[in-house]
A and B are shown apart, each in its own frame.
Chain A
Amino acid sequence: DQQVKQNSPSLSVQEGRISILNCDYTNSMFDYFLWYKKYPAEGPTFLISISSIKDKNEDGRFTVFLNKSAKHLSLHIVPSQPGDSAVYFCAASPNFGNEKLTFGTGTRLTIIP
């Protein structure tokens, strides 16, 4: 039973446009969410996070939105750059203080020059 779902295995976006990656979760105990980026042959790299007390967190070109009622979060990248091409993983943690992360299956983002 997958508690964190990324239903789009891949996404292609034109350079300069906005990339929107989506993530849904089923466990209402999750209250901290993270996005990781992974290049081939490397480990995941932390990108941005959000706690359930917020509905938006912004860091440069990256913004994460959280809709608790819909159990949905999204990562917006604008403008998209070729270096953003990677696999993006959504992860969730229950009960602020619990470090065990549950990951989604990832979305492969390709930025077209």
Chain B
Amino acid sequence: EADIYQTPRYLVIGTGKKITLECSQTMGHDKMYWYQQDPGMELHLIHYSYGVNSTEKGDLSSESTVSRIRTEHFPLTLESARPSHTSQYLCASSEYSDGLAKNIQYFGAGTRLSVL
């Protein structure tokens, strides 16, 4: 059973506000990811991290930023929220297993963000 937590689950906020979406995992995984998903669409990777102080942008350009100061914590920040940021944001983590990159990513429940 995966232990990865996202808060808040739902967030409705006005344009221009700064927001931080929290993601924590208790599995000691080095690798963590942020995905963005719109209804009926695929998950798009927007950020990933291979460990502390390591962050990279994903395949989908995003105005959000991330930090990885502790292994277990990977928060995502939007400095100035806009209606175009309305979406679901999913956090995931993974580890290598048995010397092979099985890449099983474990997901949190997600944060559904609505920017008015």
Contacts and interface: CB of A to CB of B under 8 A. Distances in A.
Nearest to B95: A99
A41 B10 CA distance: 10
A32 B101 contact: yes
Contacts of A32: 101-103
Nearest to B91: A43
The winner among B9, B48, B110 for most chain A CB atoms within 10 A is B110
Interface residues of B, number: 29
Top 9 nearest A-B pairs by Cβ distance? Answer: A43-B107, A103-B42, A97-B101, A103-B43, A99-B103, A105-B42, A44-B107, A43-B109, A46-B104
Interface of A: 2, 4, 9, 32, 34, 36, 41-46, 49, 89, 93, 96-106
29 contacts: A2-B42, A4-B42, A34-B103, A41-B109, A41-B110, A43-B6, A43-B90, A43-B92, A43-B107, A44-B43, A44-B90, A46-B105, A89-B42, A93-B101, A96-B100, A99-B48, A99-B101, A99-B103, A99-B105, A100-B45, A100-B58, A100-B59, A102-B42, A103-B35, A104-B42, A105-B41, A105-B42, A106-B40, A106-B42
